[in-house]
C-alpha cells in the first residue's frame, strides 16, 4: 500500500511530461517568415508539437486541400510527408498552388508540419482525425455545418 | 461602513435590468421562462420561510427544557396531524411546479406552428456565423456576431457547430440551447420589445469562450426588411492599398460579396463596418479597433484562429479605413 503512495505522484508527473507536446504560446505574436532552408531550427518546434500539427490539419481542411489530397485517395500526401523536409513542403504549398500564396506564413508552417506528421499516424488515428475535421469549413464551396 | 456594505449588497441587483438578463424579458419565450422562474421563487421561498419559522418556533418553545430529559409522547395527536398537513403541502408545492413547467414547455413547443422566418446560426471557435434567406433569391445572406430579429414574428433559429459544443444563449429573448456538432438543434424566439440585447456562448468551448458574444437587435418589421435588403447588397470594391483584402491573405478566410474574396472559414466581412463589435464582442466597432485587431489579433484575443498577417503600415491603414466604410 505504501509503495503505491510513493509511485502515484511519480506516475502523475509522467502524465504532466506529456503535456509539453501540447504546449502553445498564448501571447502577442508577429507574422512568421518562411523557412530558411532545410536546417531552419523552427521546423522541429512545429513538427514536434501536437497543437501545431492539429492546427495544420484544420487549415488543410479549411483551404479545401483535402479535395485533391484526401488521406487514402489518389493525391494522398503520406509519401510526400516521409520523403521531403518541412522547408520543401512549405515551398510547394506556398508557390505550387494558386491559392497557396494567400495563406499566411504561420499557417503554412502548420500545414507543412501536419503533412510531415502523416507518415507517423496509424489508421485508427487517421480515422479519428478525419471524423474530427469533417464538420469544419471545407474550401470555398463549403455550404455550412453538418446537421 | 455599514452603509457601504449595504450598497455593495445592492450592486448585483443592478445587473438584473441589463441587456443580458433573464429578469428583463423581451420575447414571449423569455416571458414564460421568467414566469416559471418567479413561480419557483415563490413556491420555494414560501417553503423555506415556513421551515425557518417552524424551526425558530420549536427552539423558542423548548428553550427551558433543553437541560431536562427529553419527553417522549408516543401518541401526540397534534404532532401527527401537523406532519400530515406538512406532507400535503409538499405534494401541493411540487404539483404546482410540475404543472407550471409542463404548461410552459407546451407553450414553447406550440410556437413551432407560428414560425415565420428561419435564421441559421453556426457556432465556431470563437464567433457566430449568422445566415438569413435572401428575400430576392434562394441563397443565404451571411453576417457574423449580430442577430437582427423582427418584433412580433416567430423566428426559428437553426443551430449548428463546426468544431466543439457551444451553447446559444440570449437571456432577454429565450433560454439556452446547446449547439452540437453534427446535430440539428433549433430554438424559436418571438421578440416583442425593441432594442439591443447581448447573447453569449454558454458552454465552455476553449480558450476564448468568454469572448464569444454577439449582439441581438430587435427591429420593427419594416426596419428589419430594410436591414436585410442592405445586408443583401454587395460590398463596394476596395481600391489602392486596400486591394489586399480581395487578393491577399484576408481573402483566404473571409468573404466580401462583390469582390474576389471568397474564403469561407472566417466571418463574412461584406458589411462589417455596420456591426457593433469587432471579434465577437471583444472590442466595440471603430476604425482603431479594426486596425488593432488586424495588426495583433493574438494580443487582443489570445488563441484566436485569426493570424497576424504581414501588412505594411499604409496597407493596414487602408484596410481598416475600407472595412470601417462597409456599412
Contact A63 B252 (CB under 8 A): yes
Q: Does B158 touch chain A (CB under 8 A)?
A: yes
DSSP one-letter string for B158-193: EEEESSS-EEEE-TTT---EEE-TT--EEEEE-B-S
Starting from the edge strand earliest in sequence, which strands make up the sheet with B166-169, in order?
B146-150, B213-219, B195-201, B166-169, B177-179
| CB contacts, 8 Å: B161 with chain A | 135, 145
A104 touches chain B (CB under 8 A): yes
Looking at chain B, which residue has its C-alpha nearest residue A143? B264
Maximum Cα interatomic distance, chain B, rounded to a whole number of Å: 96
Classified as helix, coil or strand, B197 is strand
pLDDT tens for each residue of B145-196: 999 999 999 999 999 999 999 999 999 999 999 999 999 999 999 999 999 9
Report yes or no: A100 and A93 within 8 Å, Cβ to Cβ: yes
Q: Choose the closest CB to B184 out of A27, A99, A147.
A: A147
- Which residue does chain A place closest to B295, by CA atoms? A30
**Total Cβ atoms within 10 A of residue B93:** 15
Judged by CB atoms within 8 Å, which residues 29-48 of A form the interface with B? 29-31
Q: What is the pLDDT along chain B (327 residues), one digit of tens a residue?
A: 566 665 565 555 555 568 899 999 999 999 999 999 999 999 999 999 999 999 999 888 888 766 666 666 667 788 888 889 999 999 999 999 999 999 999 999 999 999 989 999 999 999 999 999 998 887 899 999 999 999 999 999 999 999 999 999 999 999 999 999 999 999 999 999 999 999 999 999 999 999 999 999 999 999 999 999 999 999 999 999 999 999 888 999 999 999 999 999 999 999 999 999 999 999 999 999 999 999 899 999 998 999 888 888 899 999 999 999 998
**Counting Cβ atoms within 10 Å, is residue B159 exposed (0-12), middle (13-18) or buried (19+)?**
buried
Looking at 2.60.40, 1.10.760, 3.40.50, 1.10.3470, the CATH number of the domain A44-140 comes to: 1.10.760
With a CB-CB cutoff of 8 Å, which residues 53-82 of chain A face chain B?
Answer: 58, 62-63
Q: Do B182 and A62 touch (CB under 8 A)?
A: no
CB contact under 8 A, B302 and A27: yes
pLDDT in tens for each of the 147 residues of chain A? 566 666 676 666 666 666 778 887 776 677 788 888 888 888 888 988 999 999 999 999 999 888 888 877 888 888 888 888 899 999 999 998 888 888 988 899 999 999 999 999 888 888 888 888 888 998 888 888 887
Cell, residue B209: 469562450
How is residue A8 written as a grid cell? 502515484
Angle of the B287-295 helix axis to the B313-325 helix axis, nearest 10? 130
Q: Which domains does chain B have, with CATH numbers?
A: 17-53+84-219 (2.60.40.420), 240-325 (2.60.40.420)
C-alpha torsion B145→B149→B155→B156, nearest 10? 0
pLDDT for the residue numbered B6: 58
Are B127 and B146 in contact by the 8 Å Cβ rule? The answer is no
Amino acid at each position: 500500500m505504501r509503495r503505491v503512495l510513493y509511485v502515484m505522484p511519480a506516475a502523475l508527473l509522467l502524465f504532466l511530461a506529456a503535456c509539453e507536446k501540447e504546449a502553445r504560446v498564448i501571447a502577442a505574436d508577429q507574422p512568421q517568415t518562411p523557412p530558411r532552408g532545410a536546417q531552419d531550427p523552427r521546423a522541429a518546434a512545429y513538427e514536434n508539437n501536437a497543437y501545431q500539427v492539429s492546427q495544420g490539419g484544420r487549415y488543410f481542411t479549411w483551404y479545401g486541400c483535402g479535395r485533391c489530397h484526401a488521406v487514402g485517395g489518389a493525391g494522398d500526401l503520406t509519401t510526400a510527408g516521409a520523403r521531403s523536409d518541412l522547408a520543401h513542403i512549405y515551398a510547394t504549398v506556398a508557390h505550387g498552388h494558386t491559392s497557396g500564396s494567400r495563406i499566411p506564413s504561420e499557417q503554412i508552417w502548420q500545414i507543412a508540419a501536419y503533412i510531415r506528421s502523416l507518415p507517423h499516424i496509424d489508421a485508427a488515428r487517421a480515422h479519428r482525425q478525419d471524423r474530427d475535421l469533417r464538420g469544419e469549413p471545407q474550401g470555398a464551396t463549403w455550404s455550412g455545418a453538418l446537421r | 461602513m455599514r452603509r457601504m456594505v449595504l450598497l455593495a449588497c445592492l450592486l448585483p441587483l443592478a445587473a438584473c435590468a441589463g441587456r443580458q438578463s433573464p429578469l428583463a424579458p423581451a420575447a414571449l419565450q423569455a416571458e414564460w421562462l421568467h414566469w416559471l422562474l418567479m413561480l419557483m421563487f415563490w413556491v420555494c421561498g414560501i417553503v423555506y420561510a415556513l421551515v425557518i419559522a417552524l424551526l425558530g418556533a420549536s427552539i423558542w418553545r423548548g428553550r427551558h427544557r433543553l437541560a431536562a430529559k427529553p419527553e417522549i409522547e408516543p401518541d401526540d395527536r397534534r404532532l401527527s396531524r401537523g406532519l400530515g398537513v406538512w406532507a400535503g403541502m409538499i405534494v401541493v408545492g411540487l404539483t404546482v411546479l410540475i404543472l407550471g413547467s409542463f404548461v410552459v414547455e407546451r407553450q414553447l413547443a406550440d410556437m413551432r406552428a407560428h414560425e415565420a422566418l428561419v435564421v441559421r446560426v453556426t457556432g465556431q471557435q470563437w464567433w457566430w456565423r449568422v445566415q438569413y434567406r435572401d428575400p430576392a433569391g434562394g441563397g443565404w445572406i451571411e453576417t457574423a456576431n449580430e442577430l437582427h430579429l423582427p418584433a412580433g414574428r416567430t423566428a426559428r433559429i437553426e443551430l449548428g457547430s463546426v468544431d466543439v459544443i457551444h451553447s446559444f444563449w440570449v437571456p432577454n429573448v429565450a433560454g439556452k440551447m446547446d449547439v452540437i456538432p453534427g446535430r440539428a438543434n433549433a430554438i424559436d424566439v418571438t421578440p416583442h420589445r425593441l432594442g439591443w440585447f447581448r447573447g453569449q456562448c454558454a458552454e465552455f468551448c476553449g480558450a476564448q469562450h468568454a469572448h464569444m458574444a454577439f449582439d441581438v437587435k430587435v427591429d420593427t418589421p419594416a426596419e428589419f426588411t430594410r436591414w436585410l435588403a442592405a445586408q443583401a447588397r454587395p460590398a463596394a470594391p476596395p481600391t489602392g492599398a486596400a486591394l489586399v483584402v480581395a487578393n491577399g491573405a484576408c481573402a483566404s478566410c473571409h468573404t466580401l460579396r462583390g469582390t474576389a474574396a471568397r474564403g469561407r472559414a472566417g466571418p463574412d466581412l461584406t458589411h462589417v463596418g455596420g456591426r457593433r463589435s469587432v471579434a465577437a464582442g471583444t472590442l466595440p466597432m471603430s476604425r482603431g479597433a479594426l486596425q488593432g485587431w488586424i495588426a495583433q489579433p493574438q494580443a487582443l484575443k489570445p488563441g484566436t484562429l485569426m493570424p497576424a498577417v504581414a501588412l505594411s503600415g499604409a496597407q493596414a491603414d487602408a484596410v481598416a479605413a475600407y472595412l470601417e466604410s462597409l456599412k
